Amino acid sequence: MHIAEGMLPAQWAVGWAVPAAVATGLGLHQIRRDIGRDPSRKPFYALLGSAVFIISLLPIPVPIAGTSSHPCGTPLAAILVGPLASTVLGGLSLFLQALLFAHGGLTTLGANIISEGLTGSLVGWAVFRLFRRFNLSFASSAVAAGLLGDLAVYLVTSAQLGLALHGGQPLGAAVITFFAAYLPTQLPLAIGEGIFTGFALRFVARTRPDILGRLRIPAGVMGCDR
C-alpha cells in the first residue's frame, strides 16, 4: 500500500491524484456533515483516525516470509463511519507516514490513497454489509471484511505498479508478478487483519452498541453472539 517516492512516472502519479482528491473531498464533506449534526462525533473520528494510523504503520513479523508487513485498518474504519470518511482517515495517515516516516511518498500519495484508503474501505464496507444481508454471522462478516479488504489493497497496488512499470511485459503478467510477490508476506497479515477486525467490531458491539446503531446495517447487526 506504500508505493515509495519516485516509483511512479509523473503522468501516473498525477492520474491517481485526481480521483484520490475527489474521493477525499467527498469524504471530508461527509465528515463535516456528520459532525455538524452531532458534534460529539468529532472525538470518535479523531480516535478512529489515530487507530488507522497506528494499525497501518505497525510492522508485524511474518515468520514464513522472513520479513514484516502491516495491516491496513481502513476496512474496520469503513464499517464504522462509511467508506468515504474512512478514505479521508486513511489518506491523512498516509500523508503523515510519508512525511514523518518515509513510508510511501508525497508524489505517490494519490495512488496510495486509492489503494489503501478508497479500495480497502470500499471492499471492507461492501463485504461486511453483503455478508450481513445474507444473514451470515456478525463475526464471520467482520473477519471476511478485514481479510478481503486487506487483500484488495494489495491487488490494486499490484495493478498500479503493473500499469506504470510493465514495460514490454504483458500487463496481466506484470500485475500477477507484483501480486505474487506480495502474497507470501501479506496473506498471513490479511488473515490477521480479518481476525483483528472481527474482535474489534465484536468489542464495539458489546460495549458501545449505540455506535453500530447509527450505521443502518441490515437487520440483525446486534446478533454479535452468532
Indicate whether 186 belongs to any domain: yes
Q: Report the CATH number at residue 47.
A: 1.10.1760.20
Indicate whether 221 belongs to any domain: no
At 104 the pLDDT is 85
Global confidence as pTM? 0.89
At 138 the pLDDT is 87
In total, how many domains does the chain have? 1
Indicate whether 225 belongs to any domain: no
Indicate whether 226 belongs to any domain: no
Q: Would you state the cell numbers that stand for residue 86, as one nine-digit string?
A: 474512512
CB atoms within 10 A of CB 56: 25
Indicate whether 5 belongs to any domain: no
At 188 the pLDDT is 87
223 pLDDT above the threshold of 60: no
Indicate whether 158 belongs to any domain: yes
Angle between helices 83-101 and 120-133 (to 10 degrees): 150
**Domain span holding position 63:** 10-212
What average pLDDT does the structure give for the chain? 88
